[in-house]
Amino acid sequence: MTLRVLCVFLLSGWLSVSAAALPIPENGPALRIQGSNTIGAELGPALVEGLLQEQGLLKIHRETPDTANEQRIVGQTAQGQRVVIEVAAHGSSTGFTALKNLSADLAASSREIKDSELLALQTLGDLKSPAAEQVIAIDGLAIILNPANPLEQLNTEQLARIFAGEVKNWEELGGRDGAIHLYARDDQSGTYDTFKELVLSRRGKSLSSAAKRFESSEQLSDAVSADPQAIGFIGLPYVRQAKAVAIADGASQAMLPLNSLIATEDYPLSRRLFFYLPPDSRNPWAQALATFAQSPQGQAIVATSGFVSQTVQAMSVTPNALMPEGYQSLSRHAQRLTVNFRFAEGSASLDNKARQDLARVLDYIKRNGKTERAVTLVGFGDLKDDPARADLLSKLRAMAVRRELVKNGVVMREVRGFGALMPVATNSADEGRIKNRRVEVWVY
């Protein structure tokens, strides 16, 4: 639904200020956002400011109430009427709670909605539908050390043992003698939920009670920078003065949290940032903000806020001996797009992000004149007992993407499957296997 169409609805308690503008409430905020500190600290307010500018509002500024981690973004109409959008950033779980008790119109989350939350909110509609679940940015959890720490890489198994308190001295990891000091986000944080899911729970471990906990990402990062024996985990924009280390998962290569590896979600600790918009929402500002976040202007704000945008770009890949020969040849002659198509769990259907990405990839292909035999799709999968089956399944996934592109006028150059080669995650866990089931897009 476009902003113009939205505005024909004169909801109870709303005033339409012009034919092209969103309606302004007579009383109270136009929009209430609750949830992730990772999103709410800067990205959410910046996207709100962008929407207010698009709406032609004046004197846009932020106000900070007395409550920590809360902001009001305020604009003014040409007639002098205040428009207020409230952003409360107390952790992803608080966003879903606020949707349930009707104290928020939009939930910001740095993790996927849990099954229990989905069930609790079913009266609001299906929050897993493509319209409700909006991936607005990609982030990477950076594992940070004090800059004086000589370690350059760790694997996810080591991370689990470190944060569970089983590895207590840096010397056990090849570092200097000294007790390991743990720093972690608080229990309400989506950052903590993501770390727990990707690292701890997967190995049946829990966070050590010795860890110092923080509601603020900035405070955690600065504390690690001030402690030579510290280790912590943080969203990508909050590395600040700390040192990020390369991370390996299973048989994957160790990867630094680089933008290109996070954009494709190959980096082991990459994650998606979400807006959850109840399908039955009667608030036009909520839909408008979700739409704006997906737009080129919104994704530019994502990038300037320090996260990784979903804007599709072509990147060169340097061939190396660990790649199969066919993949090396591809990397010598073509460029890879900064997007991977992934699939809904237990399904050959594209997931919600992949559906969003399909439009972006098509736009890139058409804008750059790549519709005629200039696109190659490369499928990968998880490990199977029969390598031939893994090869077949990887190619079938690529064919699923091919069908969608062909429907939109793209004549493919080639579709290839590389089976279980080049894993980006461990195949010993469901989450890793899902991540390994991917389709890359290459252009000549």
Other Cβ atoms within 10 Å of 385 Cβ, number: 6
pLDDT tens-digit map of 360-386: 999 999 999 999 999 999 999 887 777
Question: pLDDT higher for 428 or 42?
Answer: 42
At residue 1, the pLDDT reads 39
Identity of the amino acid at 407: K
Residue 346 — pLDDT band, cuts 50, 70, 90?
low
Q: Where are the domains of the chain?
A: 3-132+277-304, 139-261, 312-443
pLDDT tens-digit map of 240-268: 999 999 999 988 889 999 989 999 999 99
Q: Render 319-359 in DSSP notation, one character per residue.
A: --TTS-HHHHHHHHH-EEEEEEEEB-TTSSSB-HHHHHHHH
CATH for the stretch 3-132+277-304: 3.40.190.10
Inter-CA distances, 406 with 319, 338, 375, 412, Å? 29, 20, 11, 7
Phi, psi (rounded to 5 degrees) for 175: -95, -165
At residue 138, the pLDDT reads 94
pLDDT exceeds cutoff 80 at 11: no
Q: Let me know if the fold of 3-132+277-304 is the same as that of 312-443.
A: no
At residue 211, the pLDDT reads 98
User: Residue 154: beta bridge partners?
Assistant: 247
Specify the pairing of strand 375-380 against strand 414-417.
parallel
Task: Kindly report which listed range (17-21, 134-138, 195-199, 236-240) carries the lowest average pLDDT score.
Answer: 17-21
Q: Tell me the mean pLDDT in the region 386-407.
A: 89
Mean pLDDT taken over the chain? 91
Rounded-to-integer distance, Cα 374 and Cα 335, Å:
11
Residue 4 — pLDDT band, cuts 50, 70, 90?
very low
Identity of the amino acid at 324: P
Question: pLDDT higher for 71 or 423?
Answer: 71
At residue 435, the pLDDT reads 84
In the block, tokens 């910001």 appear at 108
Q: Tell me the mean pLDDT in the region 9-31.
A: 65
Q: Tell me the mean pLDDT in the region 103-107.
A: 98
Rounded-to-integer distance, Cα 164 and Cα 378, Å:
38
Residue 19 — pLDDT band, cuts 50, 70, 90?
very low
CATH for the stretch 312-443: 3.30.1330.60
**Whether the model pTM is above 0.75:** yes
At residue 350, the pLDDT reads 83
Residue 7 — pLDDT band, cuts 50, 70, 90?
very low
Torsion of CA 261, 345, 191, 232, to 10 degrees: -60
Rounded-to-integer distance, Cα 143 and Cα 174, Å:
17
At residue 328, the pLDDT reads 96
Phi, psi (rounded to 5 degrees) for 125: 110, 180
Task: Kindly report which listed range (18-22, 165-169, 405-409, 433-437) carries the lowest average pLDDT score.
Answer: 18-22
pLDDT exceeds cutoff 80 at 432: no
Answer yes or no: CATH 3.40.470.10 is held by domain 139-261. no
At residue 95, the pLDDT reads 98
At residue 250, the pLDDT reads 85
At residue 9, the pLDDT reads 35
3-state DSSP helix/strand/coil % of the chain, to nearest 5: 35, 25, 40
pLDDT tens-digit map of 38-70: 899 999 999 999 999 999 999 999 999 889 999
